[in-house]
Structure 1
Amino acid sequence: MTNPVPVPVNITRASKHLFLAAVKMFTGFDGSANVRKALGLFAAPDLSAEIADDKDLNTLRKRVVRPLEMVGKRPVCLFASYSPDGRIWPHVVSYCKDLKAQGFVVVLIVATDRADLRCDDPGAAVADAMQVVENFGFDFSAWARTLRLWPDLWNASSLLFTNDSIYHSPAGLATLMERVKASTTDVVALTESTAFRRHFQSYFFILREKALANEAVRAFFSEIRALGDKQKVIEACEVPLPSLLSTQGLSVDVLFELPESDPRAANPTLAAHGDLLRKGMPFVKVQLLRENPFNANIANWRTDLKERGFRMDELEMHLGSLKIPAAAFLQP
């Protein structure tokens, strides 16, 4: 009896991703991310080698499209976005423009699946600086890589960390920024999650000068590795950061809180969006409208968002495109 030929590790992992993609597509979700991972594993030169689940940021490829000028004591936004094929979504362009209108220097960080790292440049009216990075590691990786590339960012008057996981209302954003300016704390965030342990969510948070000058905060970002699993990013980065800020004596203001006893507090942006909108939240999560993972009541979402000034044409275009997962593989 002959010994069975061992199945290469990459083939096993690729098969797992293809299975997950099939399940997602069959149940109405977008499985393109799993298909991309499978294709990458099949294309690996050494099919018996394990692909790292985490990587040193310095090993990842990047391309500077427009360098950052000296920012001095100005507010800066680090905007993390994902573009599989190098095109920038209109809702991302609009959000960046509206942040610039609020006085932010916008640094756009685009993660792409393109091997050549080519990406559309939306221009200086949208972003003051821009780099394109290899798509690995999610937002905290993108932010940390940018802070390493342009360390002068630590000298900004404030740093806003945000991403393309949300749609926004321009009028609501302006009102929100008035609330942010009125807050005197070292850190401002919008919502908290009680998952794992209570922490603010990372789709929008601001570090001010005292937090930016703190050595422990700088060390936190300098030690970040690129993690290939989103859940691990939450556990290693999003959850520990608020605790670190607290131990350093830095004050945090969360503008849209739910009581910890509220079961929706585990993920309010996906479970309590209606309450948040009524309280003045200018954002809605893409995942809520695309997947609605907590089966929230979103029957009137178009009316609710239109009344609050969301750009419905951009939103509908983006949501509509997600019904065609194959679009994620286009290479113009």
Structure 2
Amino acid sequence: MKPTIARLRNPLLRTDRSISPSPRGLEGTRAAFFASYGESDRFSRSVIELTRALSGRGYDVVLIRAASGGARAQWPANEEAIRPTIMWRPNVGYDFGSWAVGIDQFPKLAGREHVLLVNDSLVGPFGDIDRMIDHFEHSTADVWAATCSEQVELHLQSFTLGFRRGVLRAYPLNRFWGSIREIGDKNLLIREYEIGLSRLIDREMLTAESFIPVGLVGRGQINPAYDSWDVLLRNGFPFVKRELLREDQPAALRERIVAEVRERWEQDPMQWFEPA
């Protein structure tokens, strides 16, 4: 018997989802798929402020919220003017799973001229993101990222990715996103999907560029988002990785980051994310 389409469909893309449309609709020329995870019934300040910043630059935001305990975060009523389209889904497949489900649900958005994939592993933005977005929108590359790393091998880091000229919806990237599976080991997921995406880009001779080049943040086996967070702040990336502010990090490191953010933007980053 010939397999049915349902049997062939990627199991991750068959997971339950619930959608609340944005009151503003999806009528723009730019789109952002925003992967978020949390068990709280509220969205963090980082999620709200990044949505505000992206909306201000003309991006229709689809916020894909994953939770394992059934919590359903609600958008604050006093921020209704910037409420994105929100999708709630089980916590399956990490951020790559959320992006894959969002792209599957809204394929037309994935085909727009400028499309961003972002997540809430970042705390911020503490300042405007115009310099970074301008760099993306003026890039001539097919695929763009805020940062890249030589850790393991040269690759684009996935917490902020950009795709131009509809390439996200076209082969081979549409096949890549349609093939995302649940991987329980985060390190394996990074190798398969984050590094795997850069390998695919190179193999298919697509062009790639990063906002902050690897030579600026340090070459070799380092992760710029962790090891060069201060360089990123100084060069127009107004975010820090959330993990750097967790209680299991050295207190001296957290204090340095808090002091740097307060000096630059008069913000306390410890108030910008949900508790673990």
TM-score, normalised on structure 1?
Answer: 0.71
Q: Aligned pair in 2 of structure 1 residues 81, 183: CA closer, same or farther (>3 Å)? A: same
Q: Aligned pair in 2 of structure 1 residues 124, 148: CA closer, same or farther (>3 Å)? A: farther
User: Which letter maps to 2:15?
Assistant: L
* Mean CA deviation greater in 172-181 or 285-294: 285-294
CA contact (8 A) 1:271 1:296 kept: no
Q: Aligned pair in 2 of structure 1 residues 233, 271: CA closer, same or farther (>3 Å)? A: same
CA contact (8 A) 1:77 1:161 kept: yes
Alignment of 1:151-230 (within 5 A): 151-230=107-186
Question: 1-side partners of 2:41 and 2:197: how far apart?
Answer: 31
Aligned to 1:252: 208
Shift of 1:286: 0.8
Deviation readout 1:139-174 (Å, 9 max, x if unpaired): 000010111122222321221000111122353412
Q: Provide the aligned length of Structure 1 versus Structure 2.
A: 265
Shift of 1:269: 0.7
Q: Aligned pair in 2 of structure 1 residues 89, 264: CA closer, same or farther (>3 Å)? A: farther
Query: Please, which runs of 5 or more residues in structure 1 have no aligned partner?
Result: 1-54, 326-332
Question: 2-side partners of 1:318 and 1:260: how far apart?
Answer: 27
Query: Please, which runs of 5 or more residues in structure 2 have no aligned partner?
Result: 1-9
Alignment of 1:114 with 2:69, yes or no, is yes
Match of 2:43 among 88, 93, 106: 88
Alignment of 1:136 with 2:92, yes or no, is yes
Deviation readout 1:88-134 (Å, 9 max, x if unpaired): 1122111111110111101011011233x633134653343111000
Question: 1-side partners of 2:23 and 2:111: how far apart?
Answer: 13
CA contact (8 A) 1:270 1:294 kept: no
Three-state SS of the structure 2 residue aligned to 1:266 is coil
CA contact (8 A) 1:202 1:238 kept: yes
CA contact (8 A) 2:111 2:165 kept: yes
Deviation readout 1:4-31 (Å, 9 max, x if unpaired): xxxxxxxxxxxxxxxxxxxxxxxxxxxx
Alignment of 1:241 with 2:172, yes or no, is no
TM-score, normalised on structure 2?
Answer: 0.84
Question: 2-side partners of 1:308 and 1:292: how far apart?
Answer: 25
Alignment of 1:317 with 2:271, yes or no, is yes
Question: 2-side partners of 1:235 and 1:62: how far apart?
Answer: 27
CA contact (8 A) 2:118 2:161 kept: yes
Among all aligned residue pairs of Structure 1 and Structure 2, give the percentage whose two residues are the same amino acid.
26
Alignment of 1:275 with 2:196, yes or no, is no
Shift of 1:231: 1.5
Question: 2-side partners of 1:264 and 1:302: how far apart?
Answer: 27
CA contact (8 A) 2:143 2:208 kept: yes
Q: Aligned pair in 2 of structure 1 residues 271, 201: CA closer, same or farther (>3 Å)? A: same
* Mean CA deviation greater in 195-204 or 164-173: 164-173
Question: 2-side partners of 1:134 and 1:316: how far apart?
Answer: 27
User: Which letter maps to 2:37?
Assistant: Y
Larger Rg belongs to: 1
Shift of 1:259: 3.4
Aligned to 2:58: 103
Shift of 1:176: 1.7
CA contact (8 A) 1:211 1:217 kept: yes
Deviation readout 1:223-264 (Å, 9 max, x if unpaired): 111222212221111111012112222211112123399466
Question: 2-side partners of 1:108 and 1:120: how far apart?
Answer: 12
Question: 1-side partners of 2:224 and 2:120: how far apart?
Answer: 18
Shift of 1:291: 5.5
CA contact (8 A) 2:36 2:66 kept: yes
